[in-house]
Amino acid sequence: MTLTNLIKHDWNIADCTTHDKYKHFQHELSIDNGIVYKGLRAIIPKALQRKFLQLLHAGHNGINSTLRRARHTVFWLGITNDIKNNIASCRQCQLDAPRQQKETLLLHTVPQQPWTKVGIDLFEYNHTHYITIVDYTTDYLEYDRLDNQTAETVINSIKRCFGRLGIPRQVHTDNGPQFTSHQFSTFSQSWNFTHTTSSPYHPQSNGKAESAVKIVKRILRRCEEPKLALLEHLNTTKEGLTASPIQQLIGKPTRSVLPQVQPETENSQGWWEKRGRNEKLQQRCNDGARDLAVLKEGQPVLVRDWSQHQRKWQEAQINRQLSSRAYAVQLNSNLFWRNRRDIRPLVTEPASPETPEDPKQNASSTQVDTTKSANHSDNLRRSTRERKPPSWMADYVPS
């Protein structure tokens, strides 16, 4: 029994079990030109349903749009599920589908000890390449300018940073060619750290480094002194924390242009140990050493001429004293800065005194010299005694 016959006989036919589901809305069914309608929607027979599904999805609209279109045109039992399944299995729609909704946030494991896990990322600003390194525990970050983005250049920059702050246990990066290269794999093995990478084209999984890049770009864009601005950033506590990133890393705030009282640190034991060690070292170095005499301005000296290959001593003159052990010396019409150890006083040969042949002549010459000295300078007057030869020389006639 067809649905058309049931409608024509007002559903009075006994054998209508095959169309029982249509009874719930039999008052909405009608026939026009041999086509059964449910309201204004044509009821499509099963043999044509697949074709009409394709027609409904000809514009490759979404599920809701296709359902709205079907509610004004066609109907059959189960049309909603058929439309959903047809669109979900459409290969063209799947290939051109938008990105899926974001997933719940998965946090990185934050180590308790500073500088245990770091994130690294590369970026470009104003046609210049940079690298940034950030600590997952303290949020301490550094950036460095790169001449290029080769693996060798990147590794050398990382080595300089690790040489200052130590080698972390884990380094997390993206899948850039610098980090997936054989050179970086060798570097991680030789420097004994674990290298992990985020999913390709998924920067959110390296979010700590991406956030550090934003901070550095903002500093480079806004500040005339980027390094000074970074220093202030690292000395600034974050909301909800009591210690700044640099204070968490090294145990104390660093000095900046802002006035700040430096708190006492817990390194007093180490300070006393180092002081005692330095005193012992000073005592050991001072054995057999002595401080050299202070040189006067204009004093002739001998100075090491380091510009000469032989490094010989050259005659020079003290120009002025620069510090307790440094002098400016005049050497060959040029001024040089030399340490006191490289300067020796120039010792000149003293004038030898004439040996008198006769005491009388010596006495008379002394008197003449004294007279000349008195005539030469009126301010300098010295008393002289009369000199007489001894009595035993009376028998000798001076020649």
75 vs 97: which has the higher pLDDT? 75
Q: How buried is 216 (Cβ within 10 angstroms: 0-12 exposed, 13-18 middle, 19+ buried)?
A: buried
Would you list the DSSP string of 82-137?
A: HHHHHHHT-HHHHHTPPPPPPPPP-PPP--SSTTSEEEEEEEEETTEEEEEEEETT
| pLDDT(86) > 70 | yes
Mean pLDDT of 195-202: 84
* 291 is a domain residue: no
**The pLDDT value given to residue 149:** 96
Q: Do residues 125 and 218 both lie within one domain?
A: yes
The DSSP H or E segment spanning 41 is: strand 41-43
- Count of structural domains, the chain: 3
86/150 same-domain check: no
Q: Has residue 40 been placed in a domain?
A: yes
Beta bridge partners of 134: 119, 141
Grade residue 305 by pLDDT with cuts at 50, 70 and 90: confident
Banded model confidence at residue 238, pLDDT cuts 50, 70, 90: confident
Q: Which residues of 105-135 are buried (b: 16+ CB within 10 A; e: fewer)?
A: eeeeeeeeebbbbbbbbbbeeeeebbbbbbb
pLDDT band for position 351 (50/70/90)? low
In-domain check, residue 267: no
Which residues constitute the domain of residue 320? 300-345
- Chain-centroid distance, C-alpha 384: 83
* 319 within domain boundaries: yes
Last residue of a domain, one of 188, 220, 250: 250
pLDDT number for residue 266? 58
Domain end marker among 216, 234, 250: 250
Confidence at residue 131, expressed as pLDDT on a 0 to 100 scale: 98
Give the pLDDT confidence score for residue 341 in this predicted structure: 86
Q: What is the CATH number of the domain that holds 176?
A: 3.30.420.10
Q: What mean pLDDT is reported for the chain?
A: 84
Is 396 a member of any domain?
no
Of the residues 95, 126, 161, the one at which a domain ends: 95
Do 122 and 206 share a domain, yes or no? yes
